[in-house]
Each structure stands twice: as C-alpha cells, then as structure tokens.
Amino acid sequence: TVKRDGQTLKSIPISGGSPDNPTYNGQMVISEKFEQTRMDGSTVGFGGEYDIKDVPHAMRLSSSGTFIHGNYWGSPSIFGKAGTSHGCVGLRDQKGGGGDTPGKWFFNESLVGDVVIVKNSHDQTVKPDNGLNGWNLSWSEWQQGSAV
C-alpha cells in the first residue's frame, strides 16, 4: 500500500523474496533510482543464479543489494500471490519500462529518501548499517551509537 501524508494513494500487488531468499523486514530508505539497471547475482553472493541486464524502474533499499524494482520476466499471476525473488520487492512491469504498469507508477511517484516498509516477511529486520536504514532503531538504540 502506497501512502503519502497518511493518505492511501494505491495498493500494488508485489512479489517479494522466495522462501529460501526472503525480503528483509523493516523500514528501508530509497537511496538511488535507476530507470534501468543490470542485476547480476554474482555481485551479491548468488553466483550465476541470475544476470538481468535491463531491470526497469529499480530503486535501491540496501547496500547489500535489496531493491524494489520492475519485473517483466515473472508471470503476472505471481504478483500479490508468490514470493519469487532473491530478496528484492518486485512490481509488475514491461521490458523496457514502457506502458502503464505498477512498476512505472511507483518509480514515478517515489523520491530518493522515501521510506519503504516491509512487514510479515520470514526474514530478519534489515540492519541499520545496511543502507540508510537507521529507521529501525529505537531512540535509545540510536543514542547508544551517538557521539554525544
């Protein structure tokens, strides 16, 4: 569900991580946006399991390789029903990023600095130093790491 200023804009079915590779839970900050990027599993510890040269509408959520991005290679039936990724959040999209798709809409409505919240995943909460993800610390935990 996409919210702005507390108001729901849209609910978008997603495909998260698979049972073997779940998506992190927690609040993750969009740190980069790419209209199209290459995703190579060998750069994030997945060997040659995937190498997609033209992933559309990709937004980085962690420094370890978690993105929310367009997915044109998965069947439309997976969105809202099955986790199929290696930990990313996938949004239905088209090859080349054209058309009127949830992936394109989310990309156009999102800014670097926006917070994406993942709930009910079977994985741990993303670590605060894995990207801009200190949002998952309590105030007392935040102060413990402070120079104050």
List average pLDDT for each run of 10 residues in the chain, which is 148 residues long. Answer: 94 96 96 96 82 95 96 96 95 96 98 96 93 92 77
Which residue in the list 57, 69, 86, 122 is annotated as catalytic?
69
In this structure, what CATH number is given to the domain that contains residue 126?
2.40.440.10
pLDDT at 41: 81
Nearest to 62 by CA among 133, 117, 111, 121: 133
| 122 φψ region: left (φ > 0), alpha (ψ -120 to 50), beta (else) | alpha
pLDDT at 43: 83
Indicate the pairing of strand 2-4 with strand 51-60: unpaired
pLDDT at 126: 96
What is the Cα 139 distance to its own chain's centre? Answer: 25
| Angstrom distance (rounded) from CA 47 to CA 64 | 14
DSSP 8-state class, residue 46: -
Q: Which domain holds residue 132?
A: 2-144
- Within 10 angstroms of residue 97's Cβ, the number of other Cβ atoms is 19
Q: Give the three-state DSSP class for 83.
A: coil
Could you confirm whether 88 is annotated as catalytic? yes
| Angstrom distance (rounded) from CA 127 to CA 27 | 10
Total number of domains in the chain: 1
